[in-house]
Structures are given as C-alpha cells and as structure tokens.
C-alpha cells in the first residue's frame, strides 16, 4: 500500500506535466486548474488539511511547467512556434499552416502590342481636274492626316503611293498618280511631318484597283492615295 501511495502521486504529476508540455504557454491557467484538482486529490489521500497544499503545489508546478515548456506563439499568428517556419510575422498578416504569408503572386506584365504596319487610305483628296494641284478641301483632309502622322515615332517609315481609275491610258494615269502622290507628300512635309520619314513616293496608276472601274462608285474608290506606315 505504501508503494502505491508513493507511486501514484508521481504518476499523476508526470501525466499532468506531460499534458501541459503539449499545450501553448498561454494555456498555463488550464494547467494550473488541472494541476490544482489533481494536487487536491493527492493531498486528500493524506488528510483533508493537505488538500489545499496539494492543490497549491501541484497547480503552481503545472502552471510553471506549462509556461516554460509549453509551445508559444510569439508573433500571434495562430501557429505554434514549434511549427512556425516564419517567426516574427507582422500582426494582421494572413499565414498558411506553416505560419508563413502566402507567396506574393508574380506581377502580370502586359506587353504592349505594336502594330508593325498600317495603311492610311485617303479618298477624299480629289485634286483639280487632270492636275496634281490640291484644292482647299483637299488640304483640310490632309491637315488631319498630318496631325496623325506627327504622332508616329521618328523611326517610322512612310511609303506613299498614288492610284487612279481606268479612265485614260495606263501610261498617262501612272504619271498623274505619281505627281499627285508627290503633291500629297510635299503638303504633309509643310505641315510638319519629317521629310526623312518618307522612304518611297510613287504612282501606280490604274494597276491596283480596289473596286470595279465600270461604275462611278468603283472608280471613285480606285482614285486614292495610300500611306503605308512601317514601325
């Protein structure tokens, strides 16, 4: 009986301390309460007067053991220090099961899409009849084109081609379209488009129609000046 009375307190005390070691430091009140109950019980086995001393001694020992050996959470992220792979996390930062903030997603870099080539088709420049002379309305149209071209980079290359309908001979139309293309370029230069930007100016006459020359509407579509922009 004496062996049992000696061994029982040690077994119970060891069980309490082992259980407290698995808790967090902040759980010391729980350890103290459980230890107090166990201590009171152990003290009562001796006498009623020992119950209070047992509760005080075992409860205090359990609380101290819990505080010293218990698992802490120094950064307050909810992950015990023994499992926290990222100690010192700032308060309020969400963490994963390892106590680490989620990885910052890689920034999404949107590449600017640059259109390498663009063609401006000018059909509202009519010139004087059978000439390469620009009219007042023609210049108003080209003023808008000049503003557009001046927004281009200095490295942009401009190719200008003049086109006619099929009225008249092919040779004559080719010369006329060439003169008109040069008239357009010279006016654009006067409006501030760099001369160096124009790499080619030519007239193709009626050789590249975009509509049927048999109708008035088709012939009007074929009479045009095209400016190709290569960036």
Q: Are 160 and 180 in contact (CB under 8 A)?
A: no
**Could you give the number of structural domains in the chain?**
2
Q: What is the CATH number of the domain that holds 126?
A: 3.30.1330.60
In order along its 231 residues, the chain shows pLDDT tens digits of 444 444 445 444 455 445 554 455 455 465 545 444 444 444 445 544 544 544 455 445 544 544 455 556 777 787 777 677 888 888 888 888 888 888 888 777 666 566 788 899 998 888 776 788 998 999 999 999 999 999 988 889 999 999 999 999 999 999 999 999 999 999 999 999 999 999 999 999 999 999 999 999 999 899 999 999 998
Is the domain of 53 the same as that of 121? no
94 located within any domain: no
Q: Are residue 134 and residue 217 in the same domain, yes or no? A: yes
Exposed (0-12), middle (13-18) or buried (19+): which is 82, by Cβ within 10 Å?
A: exposed
Shared domain check, 225 and 128: yes
The pTM assigned to this predicted structure is: 0.53
Q: What angle do CA 82, 85, 87 make, to 5 degrees?
A: 85
Residue 212, in any domain of the structure: yes
Q: Which domain holds residue 140?
A: 117-230
Residue 43: in which H helix or E strand, if any? helix 28-46
**Claim to verify: residue 54 and residue 143 sit in the same structural domain:** no
157, 197 in Cβ contact below 8 A? yes
If asked whether residues 60 and 123 sit together in one domain, one would say: no
Q: Of the candidates 37, 69, 101, which is a domain's last residue?
A: 69
């Amino acid at each position: 009986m004496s062996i049992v009375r000696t061994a029982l307190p040690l077994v119970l005390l060891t069980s309490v301390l082992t259980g407290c070691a698995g808790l967090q430091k902040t759980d010391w009140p729980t350890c103290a309460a459980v230890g107090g109950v166990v201590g009171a019980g152990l003290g009562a086995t001796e006498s009623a007067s020992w119950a209070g001393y047992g509760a005080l001694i075992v409860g205090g020992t359990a609380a101290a053991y819990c505080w010293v050996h218990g698992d802490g959470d120094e950064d307050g992220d909810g992950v015990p220090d023994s499992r926290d792979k990222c100690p010192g996390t700032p308060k309020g930062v969400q963490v994963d099961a390892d106590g680490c903030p989620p990885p910052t997603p890689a920034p999404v870099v949107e590449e600017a899409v640059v259109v390498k080539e663009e063609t401006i088709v000018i059909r509202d420049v009519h010139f004087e009849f059978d000439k390469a002379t620009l009219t007042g309305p023609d210049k108003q149209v080209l003023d808008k084109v000049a503003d557009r071209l001046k927004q281009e980079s200095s490295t942009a290359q401009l190719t200008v081609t003049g086109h006619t309908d099929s009225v008249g001979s092919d040779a004559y139309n080719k010369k006329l379209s060439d003169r008109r293309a040069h008239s357009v370029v010279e006016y654009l230069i006067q409006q501030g488009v760099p001369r160096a930007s124009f790499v080619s100016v030519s007239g193709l006459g009626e050789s590249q129609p975009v509509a049927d020359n048999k109708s008035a509407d088709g012939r009007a579509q074929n009479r045009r000046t095209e400016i190709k922009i290569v960036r």
